[in-house]
Amino acid sequence: MRIAVLGTGTVGTTLASGFVRTGHEVRLGSRTAGNERSVAWVAETGAGASEGSFADAASWGEVVLNATGGLVSIEALTAAGAENLAGKVLLDVANPLDYSEGFPPRVVQPDGRSLAEQIQSTFPEARVVKTLNTMNTVVMTDPRLLAGPHTVFVAGNDAEAKALAADLLRGFGWGSEEILDVGGISGSRGLELYLALWLTLIGSFGTPAFNVGVVRA
């Protein structure tokens, strides 16, 4: 598939590389085409990799992934263009973290609404799926790094979009039984607030190589 990855930070480039490695074409999108990090990523990745502006990447992509900073995601997606998101699966892996008071940052949910819900209501024609925001990039794209089954959550209002997200996750090595659908996009509230615990755990362990797995009776 043609996947537009918006955001050139570690999350964006690691996911972009993961998608290329698993057979997809990726265009890395940033505020301006020719962004230094984007160009470097394309050079080191080679075949299957390209870069451009948010709008260029989003219009090219069959699937769009939001890996921009959570507090600027609405702005970045607006730059990408509502018309370039309409009808497409929009994977939201961002976390709305406010670092203004230092570490650990605070999860920001105005009026209790998650970032993913804000994205869905701002871009009603996009088929938003919240996923992968609950772990570090090394775990996202290499789940078998961990010593046992663990869980990746998906939340969204569109079942077909969640099924496509699950296919992409399986491409990274996630087992079907590890992919947990938590219902509609409002389930993103819990997925984003969980970051507070995740940040505590990274402090305890001193490494991001962990995740949680849901264990049932």
Q: Which residues would be at the binding site for a copy of itself (CB under 8 A)? A: 106-107, 112, 145-151, 155, 180-183, 187, 189-191, 193-194, 196-201, 203-205, 207, 209-217
- Distance (Å, whole) CA 90 – CA 145: 26
Least spacing, CB of residue 165 vs a copy of itself, in Å = 16
Q: Please, which residue, 55 or 191, has the CB nearer to a copy of itself? A: 191
Nearer to a copy of itself, 34 or 183 (CB): 183
4 to 149, 177, 213: CA distances (angstroms): 29, 27, 29
Q: Shortest gap between Cβ of 131 and a copy of itself (angstroms)?
A: 14
The CA distance from 45 to 181, in Å, is: 32
Cβ pair 57, 27 in contact under 8 A: yes
Least Å distance, CB 16 to a copy of itself, is 23
DSSP string of 131-191, one letter each residue: ESTTS-HHHHH-GGGSSS---EEEEES-HHHHHHHHHHHHHTT--GGGEEE--SGGGHHHH
Smallest distance, a copy of itself to C-beta of residue 104, A:
8
Nearer to a copy of itself, 10 or 32 (CB): 10
> How far apart are the C-alpha atoms of 163 and 168, rounded to whole Å?
9
**Taking the complex as a whole, how short is the minimal distance between the CB of residue 42 and a copy of itself, in angstroms?**
30
Cβ-based nearer residue to a copy of itself, 36 or 111: 111
Choose between 124 and 183: whose C-beta lies nearer to a copy of itself: 183
Greatest C-alpha distance within the chain? 52
Structure tokens at 32: 């301006």
- Ordered strands of the 179-181 beta sheet: 49-53, 25-30, 2-6, 63-66, 89-92, 127-131, 152-156, 179-181
Nearer to a copy of itself, 86 or 197 (CB): 197
Q: How near is the Cβ of 174 to a copy of itself at its closest, in Å?
A: 13
